[in-house]
Amino acid sequence: MHLDLEEETSKLGMEINESKIKYMVISTYEHRRNAGDLRIGNETFEAVQSFQYLGNIVGNTNNNNKCIKERIMMGNKAYYANRQLVNSSLISRSSKLQIYRTLVRLMVTYGSESWTLTMEEERALAVFERKILRKIYGPVKGNELWRIRRNDELEVIIKGEDIARFIKCQRIRWLGHIERTQDTAIPKNMLYGKLYATRRRGRPKMRWLDDVSTDLRKMGINEWRERARDREACKGGQGQGPTQAVAPPKKNNNALRNEATFMTQELDYFKICFLPLQGLDNPSVILQTPLARLHGGCVVCLLNHQAVKSMVAHHQKPFPLLEIKPSK
């Protein structure tokens, strides 16, 4: 097959780069996974144990352990990149929690729709999240002594919406999307396809569909296929999920005018700009400008400042604006 592909591509003036092609064998038997390099014709292709595809690590053992460890490490990098915001005393705890959910948690859960979680992996994700929450909310004082917050106290603060539940919601959403696709779609054939072969002795691994179906049964949803095909019902529930795009906060002009009263003496008019946190590369720069506030997942700031103008010009997005004229 490779020789035929090479012959056809050569007719179009294309060449196959040998150094960029790797191959991997997925098997439950270790001696099959540790295959040597593959030689086809005059070319040799390197055998690898894992490779990165679309931000996720795919390994030859067919588990998510390495991938989840890599995503947790990326989440730590995202947290320390925004540590100045989390440690700032000018930002409320609710806004810091929104920063975590917008900038850090989404980095960890990227590609989590295809994960099959084990108890060990859920525990590792929970430990990472509790570490961030303890940084945000700090210690508490009890019996004249300061102590860190317990796990049950953090559970009450986030109202049970932990990172494991977030991932399970993402998987259910992705399952409904696949169910509504055509029967000839490749993801649907891969989901419902079966391999007819002898099974080795022992307990089989948890499949993705079985894991998601277990979550649906715990929620009391039995006929999920019929409900997923009802597109209108899904549209009615759309927008309530945790990945909904951040909308500008609804705040009347009087409230904004009261916040900017001390600025009206120097400016003939000014524009209030709503910058969603998801669209900013470095929110700390904008938060250092005059009158910058965090509200509802957005940065509310003055458009007159040069840093804000350059940020808007760089992203070229139609950010919502609100012009306010000072009262004489």
What ranges do the domains of the chain cover? 2-48, 63-197+207-242, 253-324
Write the CA distances from 169 to 135, 180, 227, integer angstroms. Answer: 25, 17, 15
Ordered alpha helix ranges (H), 53-160: 65-81, 83-86, 93-99, 105-108, 119-137, 151-157
Residue with tokens 């009087």: 254
Residues of the chain with pLDDT > 70: what percent?
A: 70
Q: Examine the pLDDT at 244 and tell me if it is beyond 50.
A: no
Name all contacts of 244-249 with Cβ < 8 Å and 24+ positions apart.
245/276, 245/278, 246/102, 246/276, 246/277, 246/278, 246/296, 246/297, 246/298, 247/296, 248/274, 248/276, 248/296, 248/298, 248/320, 249/274, 249/295, 249/296, 249/297, 249/298, 249/300
Higher pLDDT residue, 251 or 137? 137
Supply the pLDDT for residue 236.
Answer: 54
Strands 43-47 and 22-23, how do they pair?
Answer: parallel
Classify strands 293-295 and 298-302 as parallel, antiparallel or unpaired: antiparallel
**Residue burial 217-239, b: 16+ Cβ < 10 Å; e: rest:** eeeeeeebeeebeeeeeeeeeee
Burial (CB < 10 A; 0-12, 13-18, 19+), residue 128, is buried
Q: Which of 40-49, 57-66, 260-269, 282-291 has the lowest mean pLDDT?
A: 260-269
pLDDT at residue 135 tops 60:
yes
| pTM exceeds 0.75 for this model | no
Asked if pLDDT for residue 165 goes beyond 80, the answer is: yes
Mean pLDDT, the chain, integer: 76
Task: Read off the DSSP letter of residue 49.
Answer: S
C-alpha to C-alpha distance for 176 and 213, rounded to whole angstroms:
12
Q: Is the pLDDT of residue 253 over 80?
A: no
Closest by CA to 48, choosing from 30, 60, 40, is 60
In angstroms, rounded to a whole number, what is the distance separating the alpha carbons of residues 224 and 209? Answer: 12
Band of the pLDDT at 268, cuts 50, 70, 90?
A: very low
Per-residue confidence (pLDDT) for residue 280, from 0 to 100? 63
Would you state the pLDDT for residue 312?
A: 58
Which residues does residue 142 pair with via DSSP β-bridges, in sequence order?
Answer: 145
Q: Helix (H, G, I), strand (E, B), or coil: what is residue 42?
A: coil
212 vs 90: CA distance, rounded Å: 41
Average pLDDT, stretch 189-211?
Answer: 82
pLDDT tens digit string along 276-300?
666 666 666 666 665 566 655 666 6
Q: Of residues 239 and 289, which shows the higher confidence score?
A: 289
**What gap in Å lies between CA 124 and CA 129, rounded to an integer?**
9
Most confident by average pLDDT, 125-129, 147-151, 223-227, 287-291: 125-129
Residue 262 has a pLDDT of 34
Residue 250 has pLDDT above 50, yes or no: no
Average the pLDDT over 185-204 and give the result. Answer: 82
Tell me: pLDDT of 195 over 70.
yes
How would DSSP label each residue in 155-209? HHHTTT--HHHHHHHHHHHHHHHHHTS-TT-HHHHHHH----SPPPSSPPPPPHH
Q: Scanning the structure block, which residue is given the tokens 């990165």?
A: 52
Min mean pLDDT across 5-19, 147-161, 287-301 is at: 287-301
Does the pLDDT value for residue 44 go beyond 90? Answer: no
Q: Could you tell me the pLDDT band of residue 127, with boundaries at 50, 70 and 90?
A: very high
Q: Model confidence over 81-118: pLDDT tens digits? A: 988 888 888 888 889 998 899 889 999 999 889 888 88
Contact 9, 16 (CB under 8 A): yes
pLDDT at 122: 92
